[in-house]
Amino acid sequence: MADAPLTPEEFDLLAAELALGVLEGRARARALRLQVSDPGFREAVLAWQARFEPLLHGYPDAEAPDLWHAIEQRLPQGSGPAGDRVGTIERRLQAWRRSALAAGALAAGLAAVLLFRPVTPPAPGPQVAQASQPAVAHLGDAGGAHQFAVNYDAMNGELRVRTLKMPQQSALAPELWVIPADNVPRSLGLVSATGSMRMTVSPAMRHMMADGAMLAVTMEQPDGAPHRAPSSTPIATGPINKI
């Protein structure tokens, strides 16, 4: 089922939530598809990351109390009028929580920009897949029409890509992208429309092949690959997972 169109306010809020890293499930998948396919959305995500960046420094990590779980334990369970009221309350709480989080983060970001001079410390190293823990990914779409299996060996940077299902015949070629923590797609190169192939990830990009990073396949012109940015929506996506 196609995603419903976003209003300008929803578009900007989704970009802010992706920049904050608070999206999960279908909402995160939709945001990543937009991030790959829509240059305006990519610019909005980068703009929000720049606003939030001063908040990333100078504050120790702290685990938040599990307040939502405690609230859920106190709510009545089951079906019927009480259960219907609980469902309505939960939906309203979820909507309020998203709005409150985005509004609070925006206010804090603006305050930090006004009050503090940002200092950029060295970025922490990403969690890269180790040779003792091979990384795999299964890329697909909602209808199952396109499927790819990926295996990554961090020891030598070798990437093995197998095309499991790709029915369409086209003058375009499938191109594989990695979307690391900064949400900017980087091309890993063209992959075969059938069968299997091996490719080597450049040393400069190997740190991006981290656990949880997203992979995506788009259809691109064969000439000029690897491209600087995708020109179409992904036909398949999936996260990198250690095994």
Continuous H helices in the chain: 8-20, 25-37, 39-52, 67-74, 80-115
Sign of CA dihedral 37, 43, 47, 50: positive
Indicate the domain borders of the chain: 8-115, 135-242
Stronger pLDDT, 45 or 121, i.e. the higher one: 45
* 139 closest CA partner among 7, 237, 41: 237
Q: What is the pLDDT of residues 156-185, one digit of tens each?
A: 999 999 999 988 777 899 999 999 988 899
Tell me the pLDDT band of 33, cut-offs 50, 70 and 90.
confident
Q: What percent of the chain has pLDDT over 90?
A: 28
Does 197 score more than 90 pLDDT?
A: yes
Higher pLDDT, 217 or 35: 217
Q: Is the predicted pLDDT of residue 222 greater than 80, yes or no?
A: yes
173 pairs with which residues across the strands?
Answer: 220
CATH number among 1.10.3210, 1.10.150, 2.60.40, 1.10.10, domain 135-242: 2.60.40
At residue 208 the predicted structure's pLDDT band, cuts being 50, 70 and 90, is very high
* Cβ pair 217, 234 in contact under 8 A: yes
pLDDT digits over 58-97, tens only?
Answer: 555 555 556 556 656 666 555 555 555 555 555 555 555 5
The verdict on pTM exceeding 0.85 is: no
Sign of CA dihedral 50, 54, 55, 59: positive
